Structure 1
Amino acid sequence: MQKTHCIIPFEKNRNFTGRESELTQLEEMLFAGDQTTKVAVFGLGGVGKTSLVIELVHRIRKNHENCSVLWIPAINLESLHQAYLDVARQFGIRGWEEDSADVKRLVQEFLSRESAGQWLVVFDNADDINMWVGTPTEQGTKRLIDYFPRSKLGCIVFTTRDRKTAVTLAQKNVVEVREMSEDVATIMLQNCLIDPDLVNNKTDTSSLLKELIYLPLAIVQASAYINANRIPFSDYLSLLADQEEDVIDLLSEEFEDDGRYQNVKNPVATTWLISFEQIRQRDPLAAEYLSFMACIDSKDIPRSLLPRGQSRKKEMEAIGTLDAYSFVTRRLANDALDLHRLVHLSTRNWLNLRNEWDDRANTALHRVEDMFPRPKHENRALWMSYQIHAQCVLTSTKDREKESKEWYSLASRIGECCLSTGKYQESESWIRQTLKLKEEVLGKTHPETLVTMNNLALVLDRQGKYAEAETINRQGLHWL
């Protein structure tokens, strides 16, 4: 009988919490057929895919004593090649030390033999689909996907952030890891704390987990900070409510985590940067959508507001890419999109790191101004669905953009929208900003400036500020 081997870089996590339904589903899929079983586990970066599979392989080792377990980090070609060398060395495969050896082929042939016995291979972080199906860079080698061993005694498990990659590698055998429920997240949080009694404050616990979008990585990171600084949840929540730059700094704090690779950045604010770059390279329109969404509100984004693609097919695929990375969720009722709050924040940080924020915000301003209709009763539903996004993009643009026609044109329409919906104080604020800019850019006698003066007088009158409204009206008549 072939000697079994175990190459798992992580110990069993004593704080592992929940995920029993996913584990049961995976265990039922493995070793179930008369051919190699391939399964892919996918989900948002930081949602706990690797932790889930670590728990899975330790259970497999316990329940299948004669099963070899081989863990191969697929972060890049270098890490994958080194892992193949470790497998070949441990199994004592002939020829692996030769300079000209195709080690991946040797491992494939060895595991494909029945004499290799039962085995489970994990390819962790299989995020780059081009690495698997792209043209080989070395002459005489095959695509990585063609090196998979085949044996009725073998199983292959992939973890990936991208559902499209999961489907390519494992076809229909995919398992999605979603955000935790509040109850399970509370248990996980409690298990990570030095002072587990902190969770007895139900209100703060619930608020904290909601802010962390029930994401395991964010929970572990927050726990590490809370433990190190011995602070209550309320203090951490106050930090999350700070200015955007301060929140990014908080979410960029490094921390120790035995369930993650030592050479990989683990904070929440940086873990998605890899995904952003992959999307930018693979699907430029999806990256454009992500950048656009970072400049508007993160919730209830109408698809009609997104920039146009080369074709409807390209637009659908771009949204599919963002959905595949679990960055957006679709609202079935109105076909709108939601972007996770922390993803929204991290995307803005990514654009700043790439020195693209100003250009992207200006592009978004032009798009929203172009799409935003003049508020009328018959198109009320449309402009109301756009309004929060228009206000957000106006806030996102730098002061220099306030001199542009698009800025004061859009701000003027927002003022009219607020006037139509009875939000008079808000309307007054937008109209005053617009009037100031139009007076500076167009002049006090310009027809557009006079229209804005009339709107300001109207909104003042609606609030009972009759004297000021009359003064504004007299000024307008004076400039006619």
Structure 2
Amino acid sequence: RTLVREYLSSDESGKWLLVIDNADDPDLFLGSNGKAGIEEYLPESEYGLVLLTTRSRQVAVQFAQSNIVDIEEMEPEEATLLLQKALAQGQTPQDEALVEDLLIRLTYLPLAITQAAAYLNQTKVPIRKYLGLLRGAEKDAVRLLGREFRDSTRYQNSHNAIATTWIISFDQILKSDPFAVDLLSFIACIEPKAIPQWIMPGSESEETELAIGILCSFSFLVRRGDDDMFDMHSLVHMATREWIQKQDRQDRVAHNAIRRLQKIFPSHDSANRKLWRECMPHAIRLLHDTQASNTEERYKLVVSVGKCMDTDRRFKEAIRCFEEVEAIEMLEHVVAVQRETLDEKDYSRLTSEHELARAYLADRRIKEAIEMLEHVVAIEAQIYAEDDPERVLSVALLADAYIQLESCNENMDSKSPVSDGDDQGHNKDTTMSRHASIERLIKAMSSMQI
């Protein structure tokens, strides 16, 4: 290396161009722990130029200062042309929509496109089937993207599989900036698109700004213009999740993400609507993927999400949140608010009342369930046809409630110690109770003309 540097730095070398490709590791290029890096051996001459490619902003700035050219994402036309050139003769698809779908799925990344073309050339599977594999389970898609292939345009022994190159980069970042890996891991738990900076761990700290810069320099994160809003390539998101799983860190990473979102999730005050709408997709994704978790933080996050959905009039989704935590008091809150703001025949209000009655039944609060269902059945009889599924469902639930009430009464009868003198009176009361229940059921059924 010293001899090459000395020769190229001399006048006798003539004009030359030295290309250093994929200089992504700062330690290897810049040196570390007193050990010289590649930079120390670069020649200096007015007759020569050094062209360096890297995904590390740190390496780029250290090497070229301001003489940096950022390579932008491929345009759809460029990506289509690359795919056409990479596919073997006879493999070029005629369906433009299918090609566009594939390129979008590959996020217009050149290495991903080249890898897909190599797979299609070798296996001769149709693009439609390859797309199906990519859309399948995350583990299968990452395995597909991790398949090495021969590429004559790249160096021998270099990693050609895009998932492999990403994982190598993840490991490099882990060595140089553990906080950036923590941020990467957090993002792997939420939606990969429209990520506001304020939800990130330590969002206002200098450490977070540096971590964001590192992830952006590797193109793992992309900033939307001048806004503090970011996107992550869906393939990178998928590969990150698989990488975390291979390290057996998924439970700890998910728990930390829940704690973060629970801590910063806005209250359901309508003044916070913009904030919770930004955060909502990420919270929903995280809650969906952590249904097996029963931590207090997750419970609180579910309730916060449900309250905001209710305020945002997303009643069915709010109900699902409240059902998950079995928070009957939250359902009661929803119904109380809707009774003040919605007409009694409103579909959303009837749905909420139906769900609250169902929750009462599950909690063995049978009389409250019956009272609620009798009201729902009466209103639905005014607005729905006799065979409408909503009416049928409500009447069936009311019938079940009456049966449960009868069963409770019978159990009480059998357990109540009574004297012979009281027995006839008690049986008379029980019979009257049964008759009253049956009459209520018949009345409800007849109101539906069933």
TM-score by length of 2: 0.73
CA distance in structure 1 between the aligned counterparts of 2:354 and 2:7, rounded to whole angstroms: 91
1:464 alignment partner, SS class: helix
Q: Secondary structure at the match of 2:287?
A: helix
Give the partner amino acid of 1:431. Answer: F
Relative to structure 1, is the Cα distance of residues 234 and 118 closer, same or farther in structure 2, using a 3 angstrom cutoff? same
Matching residue of 2:19: 122
Higher-helix-fraction structure: 2
2:190·2:286 contact (CA, 8 Å) conserved in 1?
yes
In the other structure, the counterpart of 1:233 is 127
User: Secondary structure at the residue paired with 1:126?
Assistant: coil
- 1:406 corresponds in structure 2 to 297
1:454 equivalent in structure 2? 332
Q: Which runs of 5+ in 2 are unaligned?
A: 339-345, 370-450
Deviations 1:221-246 (A, max 9, x none): 11122223323222222222112112
- Between the aligned partners of 2:19 and 2:219, the Cα distance in structure 1 is 22
Q: For the residues of structure 2 that align with 1:187 and 1:200, how far apart are their CA atoms?
A: 13
Give how far 1:477 is off: 9.1
Q: Which amino acid aligns with 2:86?
A: C
Partners of 1:218 and 1:419 in 2: how far apart? 42
- Deviation readout 1:383-440 (Å, 9 max, x if unpaired): 11110111111123261x2x111112111222222222232332222221121xxxxx
Whole-angstrom CA distance in 2 between matches of 1:389 and 1:425 = 19
Distance 1:115 1:151 in 2: 11
Cα distance in structure 2, aligned partners of 1:473 and 1:382: 33
Q: How many percent of aligned residue pairs carry the same amino acid?
A: 36
Of residues 305, 310, 313, the one that matches 1:419 is 310
Change (3 A) 1:143 1:419: closer
> How many Å separate the matches in 2 of 1:194 and 1:135?
45
SS at match of 1:199: coil
Q: How does 1:81-480 map to 2 (within 5 A)?
A: 104-135=1-32, 144-196=38-90, 198-308=92-202, 312-332=205-225, 334-397=227-290, 399=292, 401=293, 403-435=294-326, 449-455=327-333, 457=335, 462-465=348-351, 466-470=353-357, 472=359, 475=365
Is the Cα contact below 8 Å between 2:310 and 2:334 reproduced in 1? no
- Cα distance change on mapping 1:469 and 1:457 into 2, 3 Å: farther
CA RMSD across the alignment: 2.5
Per-residue CA deviations over 1:88-108 (Å, capped at 9, x if unaligned) read xxxxxxxxxxxxxxxx32222
Judge conservation of contact 2:328–2:356 (CA < 8 Å) in 1.
no
| Cα distance change, pair 286–467 in 1 and its aligned pair in 2 (3 A) | closer
CA contact (8 A) 2:331 2:356 kept: no
The separation in 1 between residues aligned to 2:318 and 2:291, in whole angstroms, is: 21
Q: Using the alignment, how far apart are the partners of 2:252 and 2:96 within structure 1?
A: 43
Cα pair distance change 1:462/1:135, threshold 3 Å: closer
Alpha-carbon distance, 1:457 to partner:
5.0
Q: How many residues align?
A: 357
- The answer as to whether partners of 2:18 and 2:50 remain within 8 angstroms in 1 is yes
- Structure 2 vs 1, CA of residues 110 and 193 (structure 1 numbering), >3 Å: closer, same or farther? closer
- What is the TM-score of this pair, normalised by structure 1? 0.69
RCO higher in structure (CA 8 A, sep ≥6): 1
Q: What is the CA deviation profile of residues 346-396 of structure 1, one whole-angstrom value per residue up to 9, with x for unaligned ones? A: 111111122111111111011001111221111111111110111111123
Distance of 1:149 and 1:471 partners within structure 2: 78
SS of structure 1 residue aligned to 2:350 = coil
Whole-Å separation in 1 of the counterparts to 2:150 and 2:259: 44
C-alpha separation in 1, matches of 2:258 and 2:172:
26
* Aligned CA distance change for structure 1 residues 364 and 467 (closer, same or farther; 3 Å): closer
What do the CA deviations read for 1:301-352 (whole angstroms, capped 9, x no partner)?
A: 111111117x732222111111111111112364111111111111111111
Larger Rg: 2
1:117-154 deviations in whole A, cap 9, x for unaligned? 2222222221122223334656xxx5542322221111
Q: Which amino acid in the other structure matches residue 133 of structure 1?
A: L
Partner Cα distance (2:121, 2:243) in 1: 28
CA distance in 1, matches of 2:130, 2:263: 40
Q: State the Cα distance separating 1:467 from its structure 2 match.
A: 4.8
Deviates more, 1:351-360 or 1:311-320: 311-320
Equivalent pair of 2:220/2:236 in contact (CA under 8 Å): yes
- 2:168 and 2:119 map into 1 onto residues whose CA distance is 23
One-letter amino acid of the counterpart of residue 396, structure 1: D
Could you tell me how far apart the structure 2 residues matched to 1:352 and 1:229 are?
29
Unaligned runs of 5+ in 1: 1-103, 436-448
User: Secondary structure at 1:120's aligned position in 2?
Assistant: strand
Q: Equivalents in 2 of 1:470, 1:391: separation in Å?
A: 26
